[in-house]
Amino acid sequence: MEALPWLERFSRIYLWMDNDDIGRKNCEAFAVKLGSNRTYIVDTAKLGELKPPKDANDALRESKDLNIYLNASKPLP
């Protein structure tokens, strides 16, 4: 948690972890620590793709447009 002070200057933070139960739970836990009002979670499963990338690295390797995923991200409810 030593990195938290470095993130204070950002008004919006995107979290994109593996698209599985563990990844979703970790996103929620990090969002609470970082501030749920400024933390947006990328959930590729909600975009309706047949085989969505499991994480940002896979999306990059597949030459996906990352803006589509970032624009569809949402903060915790």
Q: Give tens-digit pLDDT for 28-60.
A: 999 999 999 999 999 988 888 888 998 899 999
For range 68-77, the mean pLDDT: 91
Domain locations along the chain = 10-75
- d(C-alpha 71, C-alpha 42), whole Å: 9
Band of residue 1 on the pLDDT scale cut at 50, 70, 90? low
Question: Which residues pair with residue 40 across a beta bridge?
Answer: 14, 75
Say what the pTM is.
0.84
- d(C-alpha 72, C-alpha 40), whole Å: 9
